[in-house]
Amino acid sequence: MLISSLQNEKNSTAWVFPGQGSQQLGMGRELLDFPFTQLRLQQAESILGWSIAKLWQSDDHQLSHTQYTQPCLYVYMTLLIDFLKRSGYQPDVVSGYSFGEYLALYAAEAFDFETGLKLIKKRAEIMSRLPQGSMVTLRGFDPEKLQKVVVHTPNVWLANDNLTYAILSGTNEAITSVLSQVSVNRVIPLSVNAAFHTPLVETAAQEFEGILDCVDFQPFVIPVFCSVDFTVSFNINQVKRNLIAQISQPVRWESISRTLVQQGINEAWQIGCGRGLLKSMQQIDPSLKINNIGSTADIDSMVIRDQLKKLSIANAKMINK
């Protein structure tokens, strides 16, 4: 029923949210000029015990450490969501890449800002205690050769399903071993300090499950795409199971993108830094309209565009009368 309802919409829009590793130094700076942001940052500091605004304005590499990265991303993207909604925008479905699923749930009003931040704080603290590991993005390689080497190398896994690039996740030694055996045009280290989406973080998933069970989610006002079982859902228990499973499982964003497009999405907005998630979606459907929303300036541009579009339609109707 959800699929058919999306397909029947003239314009079905998905909001998608990137995960940890998407953060950029300076993100959120322009939001500091708004009184609403200052109120939100005060709420955040009372929960976290440290200032997100200082990290937004700093070039300190502290931002790459999990216990700081996840709360900073959460506050940044929830503000963008709220500014979008205040401007009259609402998605038809939401989805997120790993940590980004919590932003999708916030957009679906599964929890309020403070409840979500308290949950993220505990999640980040658990993950920050994980053994050191690495994640790297690879571009320009032989997929069959890479797959074969990874399968025969302990403590390293492919953490995604994209055909145009690969993400290796594992111990530093294991990743170094793979790279010594496979020719790669470009290796891009991700700003993370653990081997996410591998069995090496299963202990974090188990610890976090007990915490997540104690948090009451509200009924979703927007359907949420579950990344583990590839379904669009309003089911709270299903989504919670997904949040636990995705910690130690690969992110299959290409499969997610393909499913969303097949379900009738014809426009996608990436909320946050960059537009990496949108590239995968547009490769599957080149006609897909895409937008990146990383600042209030991006929102203002959309508002102006939509107002001009409405004016153009109204003028056309007047002419045709």
Give the catalytic positions in this structure: 98, 197
Q: Is residue 106 within 8 Å of 81, Cβ to Cβ? A: yes
Angstrom distance (rounded) from CA 221 to CA 160: 29
Q: Is residue 120 within 8 Å of 71, Cβ to Cβ? A: yes
Angle at 214 between CA 209 and CA 219, to 5 degrees: 105
Collapsing DSSP to helix, strand or coil, 183 comes out as: coil
Angstrom distance (rounded) from CA 110 to CA 96: 14
> Across the chain, which distance is largest between two alpha carbons, in Å?
72
- Cα of 103 vs its chain's centroid, Å: 7
In which element (H, E) is residue 277 found? Answer: helix 276-284
Q: The tokens of 89 are what?
A: 């925008």
Q: Are strands 224-226 and 231-233 parallel, antiparallel or unpaired?
A: antiparallel
Angstrom distance (rounded) from CA 187 to CA 209: 33
Q: Is residue 245 within 8 Å of 197, Cβ to Cβ? A: no
Q: Which residue has the tokens 């979606």?
A: 281
Closest CA to 187 of 134, 146, 133, 136: 136
Angstrom distance (rounded) from CA 17 to CA 275: 10
Collapsing DSSP to helix, strand or coil, 312 comes out as: helix
Angstrom distance (rounded) from CA 142 to CA 20: 27
